[in-house]
Chain A
Amino acid sequence: QSVLTQPPSVSEAPRQRVTISCSGSSSNIGNNAVHWYQQFPGEAPKLLIYYDDLLPSGVSDRFSGSKSGTSASLAISGLQSEDEADYFCAAWDDTLNSYVFGTGTKVTVL
């Protein structure tokens, strides 16, 4: 049962921009770093954003992350068909003493 809330799906035309929200609480997002993962069908998740807004080496700068209070966001600009995937946020939760994940958002390129 996911603790962080994301929209189930977002869709947009190619070359447009989409934003995925991730809502939590003071015990997770409000007090700890948020990390984002991209997952293609049949594959393991892959790190996309770490420490709220940092890009790992090799990740396109069309991806960006931000955080404010108990919510975080992932933005994808210049949307491409290869961006069609599921996206998850995650953070450590101080109350649960556990990592918690978002419910996941499926991105569709129209």
Chain B
Amino acid sequence: QVQLQQSGPGLVKPSQTLSLTCAISGDSVSSNGAAWNWIRQSPSRGLEWLGRTYYRSRWHTDYAISVKSRITINSDTSKNQFSLHLTSVTPEDTAVYYCTRVGGNLGNWFDPWGQGTTVIVSS
């Protein structure tokens, strides 16, 4: 059974970088049969997919257009985890952030989800 455990700060100052980590158990971040995603949820924007990383002979990343200039998702195979880095944050980036897994084909469903991290952008 795959489980995802998120960690990272809940408060980030404007213009700084938001960084969150998702530790994986029950699967491998470098599995050829999975993709590792970040999603956020806020009252104003609803659920918003931010991006993913996956390994298919080499590492791939895909990002949502809305954050493409500010986002990096990378993986750490030694710790079996993946991370989200979002630069130059503003109060608009205040949201609950989730990590999640997609198995099999890349357009498949999200399951499981991490527990969520509430991130507030404020000085």
Which residues of chain B are near A88, meaning CB under 8 Å? 47
The residue that A96 contacts in the complex, of B37, B65, B111, B113, with Cβ under 8 A, is B65
Q: Tell me the B16-66 residues at the A interface (CB within 8 Å).
A: 37, 39, 45-49, 62, 64-65
Q: Given known contacts A44-B98, A45-B113, A103-B46, is B108 in contact with A98 (CB within 8 Å)?
A: no
B62, A97: Cβ atoms closer than 8 Å: yes
In whole Å, how far is A27's beta carbon from the nearest beta carbon of chain B? 12
> Which residue of chain A has its CB nearest to the CB of B114?
A44
A100 at the interface (CB under 8 A from B): yes
In whole Å, how far is B40's beta carbon from the nearest beta carbon of chain A? 11
In whole Å, how far is A66's beta carbon from the nearest beta carbon of chain B? 16
Q: Tell me the A51-71 residues at the B interface (CB within 8 Å).
A: 51, 56
Q: What 0/1 readout, one digit per residue, does chain A (77-97) give for beta carbons within 8 Å of chain B?
A: 000000000001011100011
B115 at the interface (CB under 8 A from A): yes
Report the separation of the CA atoms of residues A50 and B101 in the bound assembly, to the nearest whole angstrom: 14
Which residues of chain B are near A97, meaning CB under 8 Å? 62
B64, A98: Cβ atoms closer than 8 Å: yes
Which residues of chain B are near A98, meaning CB under 8 Å? 49, 62, 64-65
Q: What 0/1 readout, one digit per residue, does chain A (23-63) give for beta carbons within 8 Å of chain B?
A: 00000000011010100000111110011000010000000
The residue that A2 contacts in the complex, of B47, B62, B114, with Cβ under 8 A, is B47
In whole Å, how far is A69's beta carbon from the nearest beta carbon of chain B? 18
In whole Å, how far is A77's beta carbon from the nearest beta carbon of chain B? 22
Tell me how many residue pairs across A and B have CB atoms closer than 8 Å. Answer: 60
Report the separation of the CA atoms of residues A27 and B115 in the bound assembly, to the nearest whole angstrom: 31
B46, A104: Cβ atoms closer than 8 Å: yes
Q: What are 13 A-B residue pairs whose CB atoms fall within 8 Å in the complex?
A: A2-B46, A35-B109, A44-B98, A44-B114, A44-B115, A47-B112, A90-B110, A91-B107, A92-B107, A98-B62, A98-B64, A99-B49, A101-B47
Which residues of chain A are near B65, meaning CB under 8 Å? 96, 98
Report the separation of the CA atoms of residues A37 and B47 in the bound assembly, to the nearest whole angstrom: 11
Report the separation of the CA atoms of residues A56 and B111 in the bound assembly, to the nearest whole angstrom: 10
Q: Given known contacts A44-B116, A97-B62, is B46 in contact with A37 (CB within 8 Å)?
A: no
